[in-house]
Amino acid sequence: MAACYTLKIVTDFASAHTLREYPGACARMHGHNWKVETEVRASSLDKMGMGVDFKVIKQATRDIAAKLDHRYLNDLEPFTDINPTAENIAAYFYQELSAQLNNESIRVHAVTLWETERACVRYAEDES
C-alpha cells in the first residue's frame, strides 16, 4: 500500500458579497468572517521527514485569502461572472492552490470553507 500523508492548515479572512438571483436576504450585500481549511496530500517525505512544510501551505492559502480580505467579492474575478457562493469560493481556493502547490509528490486534496461556525462546504476533485 502506498504512503499517504494528509496535512491541513486553517486560516481566515473577512469579505462581503451579494448572491445574485437569491430569493432572500442574501441577495443584499452582507459579510462573513470566513475560515479556510486547506488539505494537502503527500505521497513521500523529504530528507527531513516532511511531506511539505506547513508554512508553505499556510503562505499559499494566506496569499489567496489576502486578495479577498476586506473586499466586495462581486467586484473580483472570477466572481464578476459567477456567484460568490461558498461553493464557488471553495473551488476558487482549490484551483488557485493546486496551481501553486501541486507537484509529483504533493497535491491539494480538499478545501473546506466555513461561512459561519455551523455551515461549511468542502470542495475536492475526483482523483480517478
Nearest alpha carbon to residue 94 among 83, 107, 80:
107
**pTM of the prediction?**
0.95
Nearest alpha carbon to residue 126 among 112, 102, 110, 114:
110
pLDDT for position 2: 77
The band of 128, judged by pLDDT with boundaries at 50, 70 and 90, is low
> pLDDT exceeding 70 applies to what percent of the chain?
98
**Residue range 34-82, pLDDT digits in tens:** 999 999 999 999 999 999 999 999 999 999 999 999 999 999 999 999 9
Task: Please give the domain boundaries of the chain with CATH numbers for all domains.
Answer: 5-123 (3.30.479.10)
17 annotated binding-site participant: yes
Whether 16 has a pLDDT exceeding 90, the answer reads: yes
Residue of 87, 96, 115, 120 with catalytic role? 115
- How many CA within 13 A on the CB side of residue 42? 15
Alpha-carbon distance of 97 to 13, in angstroms, equals: 16
- How many CA within 13 A on the CB side of residue 12? 9
Alpha-carbon distance of 101 to 52, in angstroms, equals: 9
Angle separating helix axes 54-68 and 86-101, nearest 10 degrees: 130
109 annotated binding-site participant: no
